[in-house]
Amino acid sequence: MKNINKTIVVKYSGILLLFLLIATSCKKLIEVPANPIDQIPQSHVFADSSDIIGAMAGIYTNFGVGVGSLNFGSGQITINTGLTGDELVPQIAFGGDDVELYQNAILPANGKDGTTWTDAYKCIYQMNVCLAGISSTNAISPALKKQLLAEIKVTRALYYFNMVNTWGAVPLILSTDYTLTKSQPRAPVDTIYKQILADLTSAESNLNSNYPSAGRARPNKYVAEALLSKVYLYRGMWQQALTASNDVINSGLYSLTTDLNAVFLDGSTEALWQLPANSQYEATPEGFALLPNDGQNLSYAYAPQYALSQELISSFENGDNRMNQWTVSYALNGTNYSVAYKYKNLSSTASPTEDYMVIRLAELYLIRAEALAHTGNFTGAMADVNLIRQRAGLLPAAAISQTDVLVAIMKERRIELFCEWGNRWFDLNRTGTINTVLSAEKTGWKPTSSLFPIPITELQSNPFLTQNPGYPGAK
């Protein structure tokens, strides 16, 4: 896995020094500055609190860096799975990588698949460096050390969760020793999930309910518990998912935002974890990629890079305010486009300020609804579904049988969580409905398309990796 770790030996020592000089003014609180570094040298020494502040800020900055760029933590999952699923259709230039994704004919040499994998492991390696460095340092108090280690574990768990739901079995990299990681085979899915649960359980027990700094840019106890509830849901651990989601919902810290246009704003009462813009140009790279623009301003004189699929648009009910406020339709040169409009800002200086949402309360209600449905409380499940529907301006839905309740939940998840962190693609996979749904919507669909291919560059550099079934090179 040569590509994973060589990128960590970074050449940004001058930028790092500058950032550390800035960071020394904030010894106890970690701020995510406007333009922090996005990588940490392998030789980084956690000798004092300013080093540690710089290292932690580097982890958070991976959720959005650069101009017009997407990476694993800043929207590439949304775009990739939106194309392979039934949410997005590529428009501008119909680039080869996007076409492969949209047609579910991804080659192992696909650039977006490859860079998404590489970026994920670059960030994982960075987290492992921080875990090792902070664990062994005496430069900070035991209490702060416990807090920071827990934050990193939450982030690492989030990354591995998205990785295992994109590629299936992946190498489980927990070491900073390149000689060990360069030939790591793929770990079974169950092993990956065991590590995810261990990280989140440890983090949940070591974090407080209070956020450790201003806003909600760094995870607290309930962020860890919210992610735990999601993992439990995916693993079919219904009672655990119910208990965890209940704790978050009943914490009193969060409430559904009544105004749909305010859901993704800084300070949203619905946000559990949202990160501020860390580029001087963009509010969020994901918003920049999904909105039609001339490079600086929202512009309907340009075709979007990605339009919403007709399947998604037609799934909205009449009168659903999410259609009116979270999508925009316009005509250009005889072509009608509908685009995602959850994020409305292009510029990082636009007002009101938007933050990049990682997880929010509406998803917790839908997690609890599904857990309730699987534990036999259909009335409670539909009550949670109808809270989300009411916020969208819809009348309550009725369902009696477990099958009908689950159908109602999945329908609500599709609308409420569209173009957010791959939720639709992951839902189709975990519920076993992906073949039925996508074979009816896409020509040439194959069941093996439900997992992305292992990038060819990784197969070439690590002989212990194997390819997913259905792709060139698979055994």
Record the tokens describing residue 451, joined without a space: 């997992």
The answer to whether residue 44 scores a pLDDT higher than 60 is: no
Per CATH, the architecture of 2-275+358-461 is what?
Alpha Horseshoe (1.25)
Q: How confident is the model at residue 356 (pLDDT cuts 50, 70, 90)?
A: very high
Binned at pLDDT 50, 70 and 90, residue 8 comes out as: very low
For residue 3, the model assigns a pLDDT of: 43
For residue 53, the model assigns a pLDDT of 81
Say which residue, 163 or 176, is predicted with more confidence: 163
More confident residue, 54 or 463: 463
The per-residue pLDDT of the chain, averaged, comes to 88
What pLDDT does residue 54 have?
Answer: 82
Q: Which residue has the higher pLDDT, 5 or 219?
A: 219
Give CA–CA dist 188/424, Å, rounded. Answer: 23
Q: What is the pLDDT of residue 433?
A: 98
pLDDT in tens, 291-331: 999 888 899 999 999 999 999 999 999 999 999 999 999 99
Task: Lowest mean pLDDT of 28-42, 117-131, 459-473, name the range.
Answer: 28-42
Q: Kindly indicate the confidence band of residue 243, based on its pLDDT and cuts at 50, 70 and 90.
A: very high
- pLDDT for the residue numbered 144: 92
Whether pLDDT at 42 is above 60? no
Q: What is the pLDDT of residues 248-307, one digit of tens each?
A: 999 999 999 999 999 999 999 999 999 988 777 788 889 999 999 988 889 999 999 999
Give me the pLDDT at residue 150, please. Answer: 97
pLDDT digits (tens, 9 = 90+) for 125-170: 999 999 999 999 888 899 999 999 999 999 999 999 999 999 999 9
Tell me: pLDDT of 4 over 70: no
> Bigger pLDDT: 50 or 80?
80
The model's pTM is 0.90
Of 174-178, 189-193, 289-293, the range with the highest mean pLDDT is 189-193
How confident is the model at residue 49, as a pLDDT? Answer: 78
Whether 10 has a pLDDT exceeding 80, the answer reads no
Amino acid 348: pLDDT:
84
Is the CB of residue 169 less than 8 Å from the CB of residue 188? yes
Q: How does residue 236 score in pLDDT terms, banded at 50, 70 and 90?
A: very high
Task: Please determine, for residue 21, whether its predicted confidence score (pLDDT) is greater than 70.
Answer: no
Structure-block tokens of residue 370: 């599904």
Q: What is the mean pLDDT of residues 396-412?
A: 97
* Pairwise pLDDT comparison (106 vs 9), residue with the higher score: 106
In the predicted model, is pLDDT for residue 191 greater than 90?
Answer: yes
pLDDT confidence bin for 444, thresholds 50/70/90: confident
**The pLDDT value given to residue 93:** 63
Of residues 95 and 229, more confidently modeled: 229
**Which pLDDT band, with edges at 50, 70 and 90, does 37 fall under?**
very low
| pLDDT confidence of residue 445 | 95
Q: What does the pLDDT look like over 51-97, one tens digit per residue?
A: 888 888 888 888 875 445 788 999 999 999 999 999 999 997 666 99
Where does CATH 1.25.40.390 sit in the chain?
2-275+358-461
As a whole number of angstroms, the distance between CA 372 and CA 238 comes to: 8
User: For a pLDDT cut of 90, what percent of the chain falls above it?
Assistant: 76
Q: What is the pLDDT of residue 32?
A: 40
